[in-house]
């Protein structure tokens, strides 16, 4: 089991044992569908939990959970990505970031994202698939920058802000054109399935 100190000074190894023994006491129940994990509604806990699960799958090869390769077979991590994940540190004061911006200039919106805004009321834009948790300072720097600019920061950053955002980058093949509403939905569903493989669904109460 991998050991990492969290912001409260407790090891994730200890927290993992607690989760197995008393999941309903120490951890919130996972909603029964990814559509409920939305901007302004989602508990930040799920971003921390997901980043830890992803970190553990890369760092701890003895993990008993379903393998990282099986769950995300189509995500091709480069050597530099793996090293960045291994060096990842869990921090406090985290801010939720939209990869596709909330309010980009009109001329930077693609037809697909415009349809999501006009016809679906930001169904995908505000969904778990398009969100990641990063530091407040990094979020301020991002603002409503384009996907291309954000991907550039992910690629160039020596200190990884979010493992989930790195996977979003890889899911889009590192190209702004690759981050479509379909790609965001697929990513969100995969991340939810990963959480579901570890956590109890709320309907099971």
- Give the global pTM: 0.78
Which pLDDT score is estimated for 203?
43
What DSSP state is assigned to residue 35?
Answer: G
Phi/psi at 160 (5° precision): -60, 130
pLDDT for 70:
58
Give the pair of three-digit tokens for residue 81: 């990505």
H or E element that contains 19: helix 12-21
Give yes or no for a contact between 65 and 54, defined as CB atoms under 8 angstroms apart: no
The segments of the chain whose pLDDT lies below 70 read 1-28, 61-75, 93, 139-144, 156-157, 200-205
Closest alpha carbon to 134 in 101, 161, 167? 161
Q: What is the SS3 assignment for 200?
A: coil
């Amino acid at each position: 089991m991998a050991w990492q100190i969290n912001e409260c000074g407790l090891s994730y190894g200890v927290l993992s044992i607690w989760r197995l023994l008393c999941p309903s006491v120490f951890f919130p129940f996972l909603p029964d569908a990814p559509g409920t994990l939305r901007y302004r509604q989602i508990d930040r806990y799920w971003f921390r939990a997901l980043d830890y699960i992803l970190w553990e799958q890369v760092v701890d090869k003895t993990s008993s959970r379903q393998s990282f390769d099986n769950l995300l077979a189509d995500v091709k991590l480069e050597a530099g990505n793996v090293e960045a994940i291994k060096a990842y540190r869990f921090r406090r004061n985290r801010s939720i970031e939209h990869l596709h911006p909330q309010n980009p200039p009109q001329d930077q919106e693609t037809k697909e994202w415009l349809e999501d805004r006009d016809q679906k009321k930001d169904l995908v834009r505000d969904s778990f698939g398009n969100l990641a948790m990063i530091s407040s300072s990094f979020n301020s720097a991002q603002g409503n920058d384009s996907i291309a600019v954000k991907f550039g920061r992910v690629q160039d950053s020596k200190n990884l802000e979010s493992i989930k955002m790195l996977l979003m980058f890889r899911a889009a093949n590192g190209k702004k054109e690759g981050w479509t509403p379909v790609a965001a939905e697929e990513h969100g569903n995969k991340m939810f399935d990963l959480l579901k493989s570890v956590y109890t669904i709320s309907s099971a109460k």
